């Protein structure tokens, strides 16, 4: 047996042992149940998520079980999650944040795009998050809306998070970044600040209003 074959047999086994000993209780706050599995996420560099969860708090996507963040990362990428090059680093929230904003803010953001349509134009909406390689080699996760007419694509509106900063949301319209913002819930989590549900809802609607305003004003300049 060649050395490379040996490595292929022994490494995963060592890994399973190591991971099994790391697993004790479920890591959901306040949950006292024993953990039944580790999160199955392994990023493009082979780093795995080291969190363990009980039956109730392990989130299934397809055949595998994940923690909350990685379940949403894998779901956000859809079929692309099978490609290691599409997967953000284990501690990077890019894909799930983009997806969350396009989901929670869907009515506001798509409404702003729809209201800017010119006669004969239609909207094509991304259903999953795409990963693009930028000129400096870093990656960007994005999802949004493309506007087109019978001649082809006329505009695109994308919510993006770059590899360099996974808290910063960029709004790009026709390849120009027109607004950047850190979502209020991330700012608060960083500051360990708790707020009432009413204040949280108000901050979120302001955040989506900020994005919506930029979509409307930039698309209004199209001729």
Among 19, 23, 28, 217, binds Zn ion (CB under 5 A): 28
Q: Give whole-number Cα distances, 108 to 34, 113, 161, 189, in Å.
A: 41, 9, 19, 24
DSSP assignment of 131-144: EEE-TTS-EEEEEE
Tell me the closest approach of the beta carbon of residue 103 to Zn ion, in angstroms.
19
When the beta carbons of 93 and 139 are compared against Zn ion, the nearer one is 93
**In the chain, alpha helices (H):** 3-22, 68-77, 94-104, 106-115, 184-190, 197-220
Write each residue from 35 to 64 as x if it is in contact with Zn ion (CB under 5 A), else as -, in one continuous string. ----x-x-------x----x--x-------
When the beta carbons of 57 and 139 are compared against Zn ion, the nearer one is 57
Residue span binding Zn ion (CB under 5 A) among the ranges 19-27, 92-100, 122-130, 135-143: 19-27
Comparing C-alpha atoms, which of 174, 172, 170 is closest to residue 154? Answer: 174
Residue 43 CB neighbours (<10 A): 17
When the beta carbons of 86 and 215 are compared against Zn ion, the nearer one is 86
Q: Give whole-number Cα distances, 149 to 124, 206, 217, in Å.
A: 10, 32, 21
Q: Give the single-character DSSP code of 41.
A: -
Judging by DSSP bridges, how do beta strands 59-61 and 64-66 pair with one another?
A: antiparallel
When the beta carbons of 27 and 187 are compared against Zn ion, the nearer one is 27
Tell me the closest approach of the beta carbon of residue 13 to Zn ion, in angstroms.
22
Q: Which of residues 65-84 bind Zn ion (CB under 5 A)?
A: 67, 70
Residue 95 contacts Zn ion per CB under 5 A: no
Among 19, 23, 31, 146, binds Zn ion (CB under 5 A): 31
Where along the sequence are the contacts to Zn ion (CB under 5 A)? 26, 28, 31, 33, 39, 41, 49, 54, 57, 67, 70
């Amino acid at each position: 047996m060649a050395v490379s074959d040996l490595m292929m047999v022994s490494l995963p086994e060592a890994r399973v042992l190591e991971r099994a000993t790391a697993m004790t209780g479920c890591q959901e706050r306040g949950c006292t149940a024993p953990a039944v599995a580790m999160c199955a996420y392994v990023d493009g560099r082979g780093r795995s998520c080291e969190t363990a969860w009980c039956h109730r708090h392990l989130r299934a996507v397809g055949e595998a079980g994940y923690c909350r963040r990685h379940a949403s990362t894998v779901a956000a990428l859809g079929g692309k999650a099978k490609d290691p090059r599409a997967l953000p680093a284990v501690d990077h929230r890019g894909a799930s944040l983009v997806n969350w904003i396009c989901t929670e803010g869907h009515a506001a953001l798509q409404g702003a795009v729809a209201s800017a349509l010119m006669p004969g134009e239609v909207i094509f909406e991304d259903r999953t998050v795409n990963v693009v390689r930028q000129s400096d080699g870093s990656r960007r996760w994005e999802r949004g809306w493309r506007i087109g007419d019978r001649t082809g694509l006329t505009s695109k509106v994308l919510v993006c998070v770059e590899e360099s900063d996974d808290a910063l949301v960029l709004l790009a319209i026709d390849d120009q970044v027109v607004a950047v913002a850190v979502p209020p819930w991330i700012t608060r989590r960083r500051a360990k600040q708790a707020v009432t549900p009413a204040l949280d809802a108000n901050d979120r609607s302001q955040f989506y209003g900020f994005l919506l305003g930029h979509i409307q004003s930039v698309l209004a300049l199209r001729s």
